[in-house]
A and B are shown apart, each in its own frame.
Chain A
């Protein structure tokens, strides 16, 4: 409306990269190479339906059911697929178990390969150059910065994810959780505990 004074007489111009993404979408849509509705669907899935709560359910079930845990450690991909968590990029899922002797930690030195179906989109620090470089070189120092104290004498194993293989850490079941059911256990499982940069919460 001409008499409606406003700080911005026209729509606010998005940033350069935002405009470039819009340009790509427009070109590909005009060529019939993409379906804009499918893009919205993908965003909705990753924003609202996929996240660490998926991985937490898998961990809680492994803590509660020894047979499931054994099968999960042997071949996780079909088991988590049965629970509805499968890789859109066709990756293979490998679960590594933390014990008193071995603490596992996951990185992707290449870029940011990550078990999306189980954890969602990786946090910023996982994608940073600093984490990608240091997790392999000085894992104990990185763990200390995350506030992780390991059992005395525990070895640290660092797993480097690739496009084909994504690792999930099965954290140790915390003390004081013996009587808890799967739903309550899942609430103890943090995202970082499944990357190996944290431990499961101890019940209050």
Chain B
């Protein structure tokens, strides 16, 4: 009997593409000097703590939702992505998805 998970057959690194995207976005902003990693950890752990008070986080979707919320707050405070701007860009993407025929690449109208 061997309970050790096999390294080669491990679970996917990111369960959802957006998990990878929000992760990469954060790492990239850190590398570009927008914030230090210690700052990120302090903010992110505060979000996790706040969420964890009301329910158990499962380390998957919950965890990346908390991650995304933290990044949105940080960028809002830095004046780089205000809530209205975010809502507008999100709506643009939603329109693009709803108006693009299935199978075609989805792009924003410039």
List residues of A whose CB falls within 8 A of some B CB.
Answer: 1, 6, 8-15, 17-28, 31, 33-35, 38-40, 42-43, 46-47, 51-53, 56, 88-91, 110-113, 120-121, 123-131, 146-147, 162-164, 189-193, 198-199, 201
Residue among A22, A28, A111 facing the most chain B CB atoms (10 A cut-off)? A111
Complex CA gap A120/B23 in Å reads 12
Whether B80 and A91, one on each chain, are in contact in the complex, defined by CB atoms closer than 8 angstroms, is no
User: How far, in whole Å, are A77 and B92 apart by their CA atoms in the complex?
Assistant: 45
Nearest chain B CB to A109 CB, angstrom units: 8
Given contacts A33-B34, A127-B63, contact A88 B41 (CB under 8 A): no
Instruction: Kindly list chain A residues whose C-beta atoms are within 8 Å of the C-beta of B99.
Output: 10
Tell me the smallest distance from the CB of A144 to a CB of chain B, in Å.
Answer: 12
Name the A residues within 8 Å of B16 (CB-CB).
Answer: 15, 18
A-B contact count (CB 8 A): 201
Which A residues are CB-close (under 8 A) to B40?
163
Closest chain B residue, CB of each to CB of A130: B56
Interchain Cβ contacts under 8 Å between A and B, 19 examples: A11-B101, A15-B16, A15-B18, A20-B90, A24-B22, A33-B80, A39-B28, A40-B24, A42-B23, A43-B24, A51-B7, A53-B7, A89-B27, A111-B41, A121-B13, A123-B10, A127-B59, A128-B57, A189-B7
Which label, helix, strand, loop or mixed, suits the secondary structure of the B interface? Answer: helix
Task: Write out the residue numbers on chain B whose beta carbons fall within 8 Å of the beta carbon of A192.
Answer: 4-5
Are B28 and A110 in touch, CB under 8 angstroms? no
A22 to B101, CA, bound (A): 19
Number of contact residues on B: which range applies?
35 or more
A96 to B78: give the CA distance in the assembly, Å.
39
Within 8 A of A (CB), among B15-66: 15-18, 20-25, 27-32, 34, 37-38, 40-42, 44-45, 48, 52, 56-60, 63-65
Q: Is the Cβ of B22 less than 8 Å from the Cβ of A126? A: no
Nearest opposing residue in chain B for A42, CB measure: B24
Report A-chain residues with C-beta under 8 Å of the C-beta of B94.
13, 19
- Whether B57 and A12, one on each chain, are in contact in the complex, defined by CB atoms closer than 8 angstroms, is no
Q: A12-B102, A19-B94, A88-B31 are known contacts. Are A31 and B80 too (CB-CB below 8 A)?
A: yes
Residue on A with the closest CB to B12? A47
CB pair A128–B59 under 8 Å, yes or no, is yes
Q: Which chain B residue lies CB-closest to A55? A: B7
